[in-house]
Structure 1
């Protein structure tokens, strides 16, 4: 991607819902990209669990998140929307956070108004910072965007609905304040039913996001057509690759424990049935071979003569 923010803005200008599957690493991102989506989402929960083994409870750091985002964006051909948690500090910390995500080349980030340490937006025990402080963080993020990359998309998320005494009124008020402070898109986390989604669509004065977490959280399963009707612009499916990976690896390894050889054959057959080519083709080995031909001395090709292994050229 040369300008993923501009590409993402073009998608948002279309009069249709932008559907973004969630991925947790470059491998799952490459799978999503091979299927074809206009944008892909990097989940914070999945990044934390896959990189550290810990849940989305404030254990992962900014450099780890940015490294993952940069590697994902490098691997895919569409804009990445990345979780940036609560910006990893106060408004001054947010300045560096946004600068680093811009350098990573992603199309967008979302910043939330939770306290530190933060936690998954669909678990109990969340707390939010005062509204004035949260507005200051969004103002800082917007100023960095304007100074460094005007097309970079800033999504401002509020978790106020899910706090102990949170109300939808407070969440909608914060969302509108964040838009007024310079956010491009508002994100109200944790609406509990369709009537709340309708209110968000009606009362938030700008583009809006729905976080589709399914059975993991408090927000309802809804038809995508209804989201469009209510005025939503982006729908994130954050845990898609994470749940799929856990469920399928568990199932395969359970079979493997009983009969490793038969299980490996089934895994091979399942993989070969997908339209992604061989593992080497999917991972990009043919491109590496082409780089060698283009840039290395001719004698560097001698290593392929009479050597054993899969043919690494694309068919």
Structure 2
């Protein structure tokens, strides 16, 4: 992972930086006893477990706007936002931050796939299944699945790769009751969101959710980001319907532009190359277009 730096924000202490987000607690508290957290989305962009340079202009603002919009659409699903918290976000992080309640996070990425692509496509080509779920023969990259499938991944410690796992393995990790609840909730949220986006001419090919338990009530709560361009593959519905090739069908609004350029220009050895200005500009434009189309 590349170098990560975080802002100094008045009233808050920086405690952790991920590839894209920086985490703060109120001054005088620690991450063990903080009553709330400040999560700031940076303009950093990552691919293949590396933070790349340069960042994507306004990316943090766009991701935060998209998460907040989806949290509002999914008002029947408990989420980690602190009511009224936006009024207390430092000016230096305005538009890029959320104040949230701490959760006891499940070590699982709750992945839902409505279409076959990415790592799911690679696995399907080898086994005709994804995380042990058998799929029909003859699928092409980018095809819609007969119904959305839940394909969890184990969240590896920082610096290691996340691992796709079977549902049975998920049960071993979090217990049957939690595993079933997470699967049902993930499929529910995906189905609601997919209906919303298709009405706007967009497809959510796949996405990942992260859930935790409220420390007080034990309620399963949607955390982290939700249905952003970093956590989801968004495609253009008209292009998917008309496209003759996978590239034409999967016209993306996410960081696939970055992944594709990096895969073509780097052998994953050593430090990744800097992104050229044209790739940065194209990615920023697609992130912005997605916001406009969803929220119009």
Give yes or no for TM over 0.5.
no
TM-score (norm 2): 0.27
TM-score (norm 1): 0.26
In terms of fraction of residues, the more helix-rich structure is 1
In terms of fraction of residues, the more strand-rich structure is 2
Structure of larger gyration radius:
1
